[in-house]
Amino acid sequence: MTTNFIDSEIIDFKVNAYQNGEFSEISKQDTLGKWGIYFFYPADFSFVCPTELGDLADHYTDFQKVNAEIYSVSEDSEFVHKAWAEATDTIAKVRYPMLADPAGKLARFFNVLDEESGLAFRAVFIVDPEGKIQSYTINNMGIGRNAEEILRTLEAAQFVAEHGDRVCPANWHPGEDTITPSLDLVGKL
C-alpha cells in the first residue's frame, strides 16, 4: 500500500459515470491531457456531500478555465447519481462527471475507502495531465471542503509545474509574488 502518493501515477481504470442527464464510461485515458480533480465523498443523498458538490458546481467554470476537469467519486452507482440529480436542486446544477465506484476500485487505489462502512473518506487528489498526483488531502467523513481552496491549490500546482525554479508561498494566488529558492533567502523569510 502506498503511503505517499506524490508523483504516483494513477491506475488504469474504466468506470461508469453520470453527467448532464447521460450515462457514459470514463477511463484513465479519457482523463489525460488536462488536470484532474478527483473529489471523493461518502455518499449520495447525504448531508455534507451536497454542499460540497454544489460548491464545486458553482466554481466549475473556474476549473475549466485553467484546463481542469472535476471528477466526483463515490461508491454509489451511476443510477443513484442520476436519481440524486433529479431529486435535488443542488445536485441538478452539477455539470462535471460523477463517477460510479461501487466496487471500490478507485477508492482502494487512492486508499480512501473505509472498509467497515463501505464509504469513501472526503479526499481531493489533484492529478497532472500525465496522470501523476501532485497534491492530495484526506478528511474524515464529517469535515467538508472548500472549492476555492482546491482551485487555489490546483493553480499553485500548475504554476510550479510550469516554473520549476519558483515556488508558491502560503495563500498564494495567480499573479502574486512567488519565491525563487536560493541560499540568500535562508533564514530571511
Read off the C-alpha cell for 37.
Answer: 480533480
- The answer to whether 161 and 129 are in contact (CB under 8 A) is no
Read off the C-alpha cell for 72.
Answer: 466526483
Within a 10 A sphere around the Cβ of 30, how many other Cβ atoms? 16
Active site residue 168: no
Read off the C-alpha cell for 24.
Answer: 457514459
Read off the C-alpha cell for 186.
Answer: 535562508
Q: What is the sign, positive or negative, of the torsion defined by CA atoms of 102, 31, 17, 123?
A: positive
Residue of 17, 49, 56, 85 with catalytic role: 49
Read off the C-alpha cell for 85.
Answer: 440529480
Cα–Cα distance for residue pair 159/163, rounded to 1 Å: 6
- Tell me the CA end-to-end span of the chain in Å, nearest whole number: 37
Relative orientation angle of helices 48-58 and 147-162, to the nearest 10 degrees? 50
The residues that are catalytic are 49
